[in-house]
Amino acid sequence: MTTRTIRARDRPVFGVDVQSGDVRGDDPSYALVILDPVDAEDRDAADVDFDGPVARVTRDVVSFRKLCRLIDDREPLYVATDNAYELAADKGELVGFLRSLPDGTRLVQVTGAERPEPLSRVASRHGIPYGKDPMEEAEAAARLAAANVGHEVTAFTDETRVKVSRGRSTGKGGWSQDRYTRRIHGNVRKRTRQVQSKLKETNLEFDREVTEKYGGYANAVFTVEARPEDIPVSNSRAGDVRVEVERERRDGIEYEPLVQRRDRVIVGIDPGTTTAAAVVGLDGTVHALYSSRTADTADVTEWIIEQGRPIIVAADVEPMPETVEKFRRSFDAAGWRPTTDLPVDEKLHRTREASYANDHERDALAAALYAYDDHADQFERIAAKTPPRLDREAVIAGVVAGGSSVEAVVADLSEDDGSDGGEDDAGAGESDPTEPERSEEEETIRRLRERVDRLESHAESLEDDLAERDERVEELEGELEEAKREERIEARTRRAVSRLERETDRLERERDEARDRVDELERKVETLKELWRLDHSNFGDVAEGRGLASVKVVEQFTLDALEAADEAYGLVSGDVVYLRDASGAGRRTAERLAETEPRAVIRDGNLSEVADQVLFDHDVPVVPADAVPVREVDELAVAEESALDAALDDWEKRAERRRTAEKQEHLDRIISEHRAGRTLPETEE
């Protein structure tokens, strides 16, 4: 069992897919599936619907921030997705996301490297359930990563930079400046030696660069051949010294396979001064390219073994070079070569969608791809005849590289799996003894005719595809021109609409301001009219309770505001005081207001507990502004006597209940203290 497998059983695996929104827009949501490892005896309790790792499944829809918090809290082994750029809008954001991952957590793209495959194809190849719903795609990604399928997305090397430096400035000078500087540099040197000792204890390889200063070190930089989670030092800052741990950046984003590929593959080789090799999957996917001027046969063989198990070794020239033939024999694989040397223009056309470093890699890749083209139909026929329970690639390898029939290979694999292959199946691959034996030339002619038929069929298919693509290109070009014309019309319309909307907004603002001003003036006029009627009305109406009471306004319940009101129009006994903002007053402010012995205090807002108690103790009624509406015109303010009297009556009732409650509370406290005094001597005994 590998180390990765052991760790996968100890830590969860996250599968992520965009649920809604766009990573380049605002607040995208993500479908999140968490696979938590469980023990084998708990398998029945786990949510497992395929024959794979035992895991308990949690499904949720989360925001990007919550996803990051869960990653920090759970520290999963893998964060799996079908496309890494679903978690970042661009390369810079992706590097930032990778830097934010906890030590030991890997971002995995399960669909491949720079040219990912469809998730459905990868899931089908590995027997993982798949659906188009985002939650199902997230679960498929998690299960693939748990099975070590995919590539780790990384922007950092396996080197880590550990910097020990000053934690504070040495200052600008002073009587003790030299001693202070010497102490800081001495502490940096001491911490540097401690870090170096820990690195040596863990047998880590590292390089050290030191900047010496007066009294010790200004800083020291360790370049360690390990990841941060493998280093016994972490970010810290204590007193005079700061330690920073940071992985070294790569030039770009790279993709590293979680495990070395061991699939059946097709290998193309271009020998010479520079030896090149290309590995292609049985589905035509380009897996890897290699070239070297110094590598020998053993190095190339080792590299190919790391990529997979070759079933076909191909060359781009006829006859097959001896070096390529040696590789073919060493892998016991089938050979492929063209009938004539492949022209350069055909190799350029066949490898146009791939990225290669030089002409040698191009030639090796062209050989592998042409070998795939020549066997693609055969692969499909073999796959169609392969039972679902058997490994399709194993059957293809047995037929192509082993030279057996599909039925014979299926029978052999079925026997290996413990199934009853049956005598009929075993004998199906045997040749018919009545059939006349062909000569070598006849066998070559038959093989070439079959190849010609396949190539002609393939050429016809390509011509049909090319004609369809040409028609589609013309159709899209027409749609593009129409879209451009509509876009120009829409752009002009948008500019005109935008200009009219700005003008409309300006006029609406002016209209609203004018309406507000009219409303304000109308309210003042109405208030002045009412005050005028009061001034010229019969005094008997006032006596009947329809009069108005004068109100003195205090802007804030503060000492300064009370003094300002007192200076402006005087605060005397019997006044009705309106506190426009009653919050924030303390005991002293409340006592200052109580000294004026107001008839009532109308408050807007809530009093503090201290101020409320002081006014209550001085029998100053406090009523809410909602109960006694105050009307103001400039510096004048009045309130209706009837509303004020009603509010005062209500306050008296509440005050009486409050006094009763306080007396009861006081009495209960006296009784409790008395009882406590009687039981105290017994406790002491």
pLDDT digits (tens, 9 = 90+) for 463-478: 877 888 888 888 888 8
Give the E-state strand segments of 176-240 in sequence order: 206-213, 216-224, 236-238
Tokens of 303: 């590299």
Confidence check: pLDDT of 534 > 80: no
How much is the pLDDT for 11? Answer: 85
Please check whether residues 467 and 557 belong to one and the same domain: no
Please check whether residues 115 and 164 belong to one and the same domain: no
Domains contained in the chain, number: 5
Comparison of pLDDT for 267 and 574, the residue scoring more: 267
Is residue 407 a part of any domain in this protein?
no
By mean pLDDT, which of 359-363, 423-427, 579-583 is the weakest? 423-427
- The helix or strand, by DSSP H or E, that contains position 644, with its residue range, turns out to be helix 641-684
Please check whether residues 61 and 107 belong to one and the same domain: yes
Is residue 429 a part of any domain in this protein?
no
Is residue 427 a part of any domain in this protein?
no
Please check whether residues 83 and 168 belong to one and the same domain: no
CB-CB neighbours of 317 under 10 Å: 16
Please check whether residues 236 and 308 belong to one and the same domain: no
Q: What is the CATH number of the domain that holds 142?
A: 3.30.420
How much is the pLDDT for 41? Answer: 47
What is the arithmetic mean of pLDDT over 548-552? 84
How much is the pLDDT for 126? Answer: 74
What is the arithmetic mean of pLDDT over 377-393? 83
Is residue 346 a part of any domain in this protein?
yes
Please check whether residues 636 and 659 belong to one and the same domain: yes
Is residue 57 a part of any domain in this protein?
yes
Confidence check: pLDDT of 198 > 50: yes
What is the arithmetic mean of pLDDT over 446-471? 76
Please check whether residues 23 and 137 belong to one and the same domain: yes
CA atoms of 585 and 622, how far apart (whole Å):
14
- Domain end, chosen from 235, 256, 277, is at 256
**How far does Cα 648 stand from its chain's mean position?**
62
Please check whether residues 292 and 234 belong to one and the same domain: no
Please check whether residues 512 and 620 belong to one and the same domain: no
- Domain end, chosen from 124, 149, 174, is at 149
By mean pLDDT, which of 52-66, 424-438, 577-591, 606-620 is the weakest? 424-438
Where does the pLDDT of residue 16 fall: very low under 50, low under 70, confident under 90, or very high at 90 and above?
very high
Is residue 394 a part of any domain in this protein?
no
Please check whether residues 270 and 369 belong to one and the same domain: yes
| Sign for the pseudo-dihedral over CA of 305, 310, 315, 321 | positive
Helix locations, 2-133, DSSP H = 3-10, 64-74, 91-100, 119-125
Please check whether residues 237 and 269 belong to one and the same domain: no
For residue 237, the enclosing domain spans 158-256
CA atoms of 566 and 1, how far apart (whole Å):
89
Of 237, 26, 260, 50, the closest CA to residue 148 belongs to 260
How much is the pLDDT for 3? Answer: 38
CA atoms of 76 and 11, how far apart (whole Å):
6
Of 258, 49, 19, 25, the closest CA to residue 137 belongs to 19
Q: Judge if the upstream peptide bond of residue 102 is cis by omega within 30 degrees of 0.
A: no
Q: What is the CATH number of the domain that holds 203?
A: 3.30.70
Confidence check: pLDDT of 680 > 70: no
What is the arithmetic mean of pLDDT over 33-40? 78
Q: What is the CATH number of the domain that holds 281?
A: 3.30.420.10
Where does the pLDDT of residue 202 fall: very low under 50, low under 70, confident under 90, or very high at 90 and above?
confident
How much is the pLDDT for 261? Answer: 52
How much is the pLDDT for 428? Answer: 35
CB burial of 360-370 (b: ≥16 within 10 Å; e: otherwise) equals bbbbbbbbbbb
Is residue 440 a part of any domain in this protein?
no
Residue type, 549: A
CA atoms of 601 and 589, how far apart (whole Å):
14
Note whether 128 and 148 are within 8 A (CB): no
- The helix or strand, by DSSP H or E, that contains position 258, with its residue range, turns out to be none
How much is the pLDDT for 420? Answer: 39
- Domain end, chosen from 357, 385, 413, is at 385
CA atoms of 313 and 102, how far apart (whole Å):
43
Bridge partners of 320, per DSSP, are: none
pLDDT in tens, 162-186: 888 887 777 655 546 677 788 888 8
How much is the pLDDT for 5? Answer: 36
Where does the pLDDT of residue 46 fall: very low under 50, low under 70, confident under 90, or very high at 90 and above?
very low
Bridge partners of 278, per DSSP, are: 268, 289
Of 368, 403, 402, 400, the closest CA to residue 381 belongs to 400
pLDDT in tens, 139-160: 999 999 888 888 988 887 778 8
As a whole-number percent, the residues of the chain with pLDDT over 70 amount to 85
Is residue 428 a part of any domain in this protein?
no
Give helix 359-385 / helix 406-416 axis angle, nearest 10°. 80
Residues in the chain: 685
Q: Please, which residues have CB within 8 angstroms of residue 232's CB and are 6 or more apart in sequence?
A: 198, 199, 201, 202
By mean pLDDT, which of 28-37, 276-285, 401-410, 517-526 is the weakest? 401-410
How much is the pLDDT for 426? Answer: 35
How much is the pLDDT for 13? Answer: 93
As a whole-number percent, the residues of the chain with pLDDT over 90 amount to 24
* Mean pLDDT rounded to a whole number for the chain: 81
Please check whether residues 130 and 7 belong to one and the same domain: yes
